[in-house]
Homo-oligomer: A and B are copies of this chain.
Amino acid sequence: MGGVQMESGVSKARQGNFFEDFWLGQIIEHATPRTVTAGDVSLYTALYGSRFAVQSSDAFARAIGYPQSPIDDLLVFHIVFGKTVPDISLNAIANLGYADCRFLKPVFPGDTLSATSEVIGLRENSNKQSGVVYVRTTGVDQDGAPVLDYVRWVMVRKRDEAAATHAAHVPQLKEVVEPAALGAALPNLDSRAYYAALSGSSYRWGDYEVGEKIDHLDGMTIEEAEHQLATRLYQNTAKVHFNQHQQVQGRFGRRLIYT
């Protein structure tokens, strides 16, 4: 567990890891396991307005083979991701990318999620002020079963420009996630029981083509209160999302929305 620094005046406050604090092969066990509940699902619906029948209705989910509605994959992602922030990206300049993201097991209300990351790549920037950290993060449930696995790379500030850092190592990342690597842990779904009228769309996998454009028409104007509620729900502590008085002096002049 990184990020606890002792310095005069800030004492026990967490300052997070800087680029030179990471090393290749480092395993970080992230804090704050979280039991996901129906309350989280309601807030997620109120924040995003999602309307997937499987995630919205226990009855619909049971009809096709789930024991009840699973938690929306992206809510699982945000909760697992949030745990990594205090250790990985409290001093981040920018999120650069994600790869090989796979949801490995459905999550249900009452499951407890926790997360671990392994540092799989490091590359200092030529200006010596920052570097790119590559981590593979795994979210597990209360039984230790993986529910989510993904690679993320992020640019992180150095605490001290003069600090020595390790030799650069940029990992090979998959260009494509193979279908065989996805959803192995899904229940055996009965697609005949998937009732299109209740789902809100008659389109199926075979109806979409590579390169097809869909104009979703609707837009939503996001309020500060909304993105702050979401970010705190995920227990994501990144400062850029919360303090207008500080951000007004920053690069963008305002709070960034976590998405």
Contact = CB atoms under 8 A, between A and B. Distances in A.
A232 interface: yes
Interface stretch (A26-34, A96-104, A118-126, A178-186): A26-34
Contacts of A203: 12
Q: Which of A35, A40, A207 has the most CB of B within 10 A?
A: A35
Interface of A: 1, 4, 9-15, 29, 31-35, 37-43, 45-51, 53, 56-60, 69, 86, 109-110, 112, 114, 142, 196-203, 207, 212-221, 223-226, 228-233, 235, 237, 239, 242-246, 255
8 residue pairs, one from A and one from B, having the closest CB atoms: A39-B42, A31-B200, A49-B232, A33-B57, A225-B225, A39-B39, A221-B244, A37-B38
Contact of A255 (B43, B56, B221): B221
A32 B69 CA distance: 13
Contacts of A13: 214-217
A56 B42 contact: no
- For this chain, the copies found in one complex come to 3
Given A32-B53, A41-B39, A218 B200 contact: no
A144 B225 CA distance: 37
Given A219-B246, A233-B42, A198 B33 contact: yes
Contact of A29 (B43, B53, B197, B239): B197
A39 B216 CA distance: 28
A220 B109 CA distance: 29
Contact of A4 (B39, B202, B215, B225): B202
B235 A1 contact: no
A176 B128 CA distance: 53
Given A53-B32, A229-B47, A197 B1 contact: yes
Nearest to A57: B33
A94 to B, nearest CB: 19
A219 B232 contact: no
B235 A221 contact: no
B224 A221 contact: yes
Contacts of A110: 58
